[in-house]
Structure 1
Amino acid sequence: MADDAKLWKVGDLARATGISVRTLHWYEKVGLLRPARRTRAGHRVYGERELMRIQQILSLRAVGMSLDEIRALLARRDASPLDAIERHLARAKELIAEQQRLVVRLERVALALRAGSKVSAEDLLRTIEETVMIEKYYDEEQRKQLEQRRVEVGEERIREVEQAWPLLIAEAKQAMDEGVDPADPRMQSIASRWMALVREFTGGDRGIHESLGRMWKSEPSLAQRNGMDPALFEHVGRAIRIANGGKDWTGE
């Protein structure tokens, strides 16, 4: 520790923060962090200002930003430590919310096991989905947006939408089985409501639309559990393309 107890040589800073000397050197090399000064012997020395800079870097990394993006953001005149901390805080809260939802599912499974009851396949599937699907198909920024959508929409509306989907899928299947053409007003009504529910989930974000589409196309078991077989998926897709001017539900 340097003589005024508020300055750290690079090795001291590495030990105090748990960040390696190599990483601190790399931050300097890519233009993210500069030492406050150097000693006559050439040793790097860091102060409280640099500590705050490190916190900004770590906070922005935690919300999924690349080092290049962080460098560009911190170079802006309006960049502030508070902005980085608030972004990190929001993400931390989202992670807590995600874990709380998983806790609810795991508690349900644990309760059944403690009682010696058989855990339903549905509960196990939903627990696995909650654990895997979101991280598999949505990147960190998209997960952040989805959590914000959940807050904006509200739990009551979410429950309403969860009840609406099976009914809409069943209606679409019945229409297909009856041979209703995708261009028919009946299927077009289904397509419009389908797209409206998707937009409500995604907030109109194209990237989330695309990730959602990949998940449904790549997880046939997920689609089947929700009453969607490949034929129905294609039939609804054709109706959506007609309603959407030739584009599918991802906007392509």
Structure 2
Amino acid sequence: MALKVKEVSQLAGISVRTLHHYDEIGLLRPERTAEAGYRLYAERDLERLQQILFFRELGFTLLEIRGMLDDPAFDRLEALELQRRLLERKLEQTRRMIDNIDSTIRHAKGEMEMTDEQRFEGIEFTNDPYEQEARERWGEAKIEESKKKLAEATRTPGLSAELQREWEERVQTLAGIRHEQPASPIAQQEIGRWCDFLHHFGTYSPEALAGLGRLYTEDERFTAHLDRYGAGLAAFMGAAMEEYARRHGSED
């Protein structure tokens, strides 16, 4: 039986806003919606959410998680086995750190002596081989591609005063309509002007515009910068750009 967003929120122990955010950035889009417009989550959606939460607990970014889950080569059973190995390693490392803390407490109380080497036993910051395995298996190419797009999109250090003013005007205008539906006529009109403005810095295909829009919510730097103009602006712009790209892509 399909579940509503509030039911999934209670079931998984995450907020409704988080689920909405996952939908907005294309990380977890329910298979269907009811006639009234609310989201309905099927068993397949819950399986994907479980994977998202496992990978989040293991320290992967939302961008990395989406890259892995959307990879055609992704295998859920293989992922579960890998996640188990990662969590076992994390548990063992946590136990060693707890032992270190216990010894440090005893040392502070004068109950034992610790060598310099013992002070740092169990504290590791090296790359986990299983974590690297996951990236190489499912997500490395997509992650690197997204990072490249981000670098290209943010490489605008020499904005002229005129372009800077236009940038501010466009963003402020979008902030003023951010509560509109991304597919509404006014949203599409203004996001179209924003996309036209972006062509000052390079040529963007519809696919590239959609990718850049997703980065507005997947990369914390973009989100923090845009949301200074109004909470939720990054998510609104990202969704509007994806819709704009979809419409214009179909015209090619």
Q: TM (normalized to structure 2)?
A: 0.45
Q: TM (normalized to structure 1)?
A: 0.45
Which protein has the larger Cα radius of gyration, Structure 1 or Structure 2?
1
Between 1 and 2, higher relative CO (CA 8 Å, sep ≥ 6) is seen in: 2
